[in-house]
Amino acid sequence: MKANIPRGMGGGPSNMQAMLRQAQKMQEDMARVQQELEERTYTATAGGNAVSATVDGKHQLTALTVQPDVIDPDDAEMLADLVMAAVNEAQRKASQDAEESMGKVTGGMNMPGMF
């Protein structure tokens, strides 16, 4: 028994070439967006601007500012908490931006390991 595939459906050679071109364009767009993301910076603060952290698009800490009045030798734990909060928030911003930017390129397709 032969399957009856309606015209315009199926995967003829021209359809496959179009899909490959589309996949190649998506790959190029993703590489371009990834490069742009790596060049961006994301800054977050904690403790009412007592601590400021900046990360790049690779999630690497590039700057950390601590206001002198928040440095209390008797409460190093509070300062550590503020630093962690600022760094984590800056990294969250970088991740969210990467997801949104890549989502625009991929049309929302989940591409594990891309960002």
* Alpha-carbon span 12 to 30, nearest angstrom: 27
pLDDT at residue 112 above 60?
no
68 inside domain: yes
Q: Is 59 domain-assigned?
A: yes
Q: Could you tell me if residue 45 is inside a domain?
A: yes
Per-residue confidence band for 110, with pLDDT thresholds at 50, 70 and 90: low
- Asked whether residue 16 is assigned to any structural domain, the reply reads no
Q: Tell me what pLDDT residue 16 has.
A: 86
Residue 37 lies inside a defined structural domain of this protein: yes
Look at residue 50 in the predicted model and tell me its pLDDT: 96
Tell me the CATH number at 58: 3.30.1310.10
Counting the structural domains of the chain, the total is 1
In a domain, 93, yes or no: yes
Provide the domain limits for residue 68.
31-103
In a domain, 12, yes or no: no
**What is the value of pTM for the model shown?**
0.71
Question: Over 60-95, what HEC string results?
Answer: CEEEEEECHHHCCCCCHHHHHHHHHHHHHHHHHHHH
Residue 1 has pLDDT above 60, yes or no: no
* pLDDT tens, residue by residue, 34-91: 999 999 999 999 999 999 999 999 999 999 999 999 999 999 999 999 999 999 999 9
Q: In 58-95, which positions are buried (b, 16+ CB within 10 angstroms) versus exposed (e)?
A: ebeeeeeebeeebeeeeeeeebeebbebbbebbbebbe
Q: Between 82 and 14, name the one with better pLDDT.
A: 82
- The verdict on residue 19 lying in a domain is no
Mean pLDDT computed over 14-23: 86
